[in-house]
Amino acid sequence: MFSGNPADPALMEKGILSKISCVSFRVGFMADWMYKQRFQEEFLIREVVHTKNQLITYAGMATLNFIKRLDLYGYLGGSRMQVDEQIFAKDAFSWCVGSKLVFLKHKNFFLGADVKYFETDQKPKYFVVEHLPYNIVGEFRARYFEAQGALGMGYRYSIFVPYINATYIYTHISHFPSEVAIRFPDEDLVGSTDDLPPSMICRKKWGMTLGFSLIDASKASLAFEWRVFNQNGINVNGELRF
């Protein structure tokens, strides 16, 4: 998940239906593409295995703002995950909750912090083993969750608000149940396997985000963000304030 502009709670001052107030509501939509994050086994009981994860998410956003300093927000949407060239999943429900606080504002300069939790239970369509696809017949799930904290600063120049964040992310992928039914390639035979991928955690926890927001008449915003080091991802999102 993206970190967002640390100045977000203080950027939009008026709403479409309301004037300046101590409580406001924002809604929006986001598209997030994590095109690379490296994982390793959580419990090193054999030779170290490294994997590369991709995750695409589309979600609606709802944010409750207090006194232009604190945001409480949630996202509901769909995500699709791919692990290396071996596990391919279908779109599945995903959700996120978090909060953002502007703790220092001096003229057009902002310092803020963000914390969030994101989760999705993916249902893989098939495994690829030795270049052969094995269709998954049973109820097999890959649970992905991410807990993230960010500390950043932004500066507003007219409608343009660039920002930078330092991030800390803990991500985890686990698989259940311990055995899964599979259909062999080009056959109707169904078998089972317990040779499942181990639980995985991210290799790098510290990272950085760079981005900017465009504010239109203090009622709407459009933002772009790039993530590096702990994740490689890009995000675009837009919001309206009421």
pLDDT in tens, 92-112: 999 999 999 999 999 999 999
- Residue 113: name the closest of 96, 94, 100, 127 by CA: 100
Runs of H (alpha helix) within the chain? 8-11
Residue 181 has pLDDT above 80, yes or no: no
User: Given this model, what pLDDT does residue 187 score?
Assistant: 67
User: Given this model, what pLDDT does residue 233 score?
Assistant: 97
Q: Which residues contact 188 (CB under 8 A, 6 or more apart)?
A: none
Instruction: Read off the pLDDT band of 12 (50, 70, 90).
Output: confident
Rounded average pLDDT over 141-159: 95
Q: Give 5 or 193, the one with higher predicted confidence.
A: 5
Instruction: Read off the pLDDT band of 47 (50, 70, 90).
Output: low
Longest dimension (CA), the chain: 69
- Report yes or no on 42 lying in a domain: yes
The angle subtended at Cα 95 by Cα 181 and Cα 34, nearest 5°, is 80
- Report yes or no on 2 lying in a domain: no
Cα gap 209→230, rounded to integer Å: 10
- Report yes or no on 241 lying in a domain: no
Cα gap 217→44, rounded to integer Å: 54
Write the pLDDT tens digit of every residue in 13-46: 777 776 667 888 999 999 999 999 999 888 766 5
Q: Give 241 or 19, the one with higher predicted confidence.
A: 241
Domain interval for residue 223: 8-143+152-233
pLDDT over 90 for what percent of the chain? 63
- Report yes or no on 1 lying in a domain: no
Q: How many domains does the chain have?
A: 1
- Report yes or no on 52 lying in a domain: yes
CATH number where 81 lies? 2.40.128
The angle subtended at Cα 34 by Cα 142 and Cα 2, nearest 5°, is 105
User: Given this model, what pLDDT does residue 136 score?
Assistant: 81
Write the pLDDT tens digit of every residue in 110-121: 999 999 999 999
- Residue 135: name the closest of 93, 184, 98, 75 by CA: 184
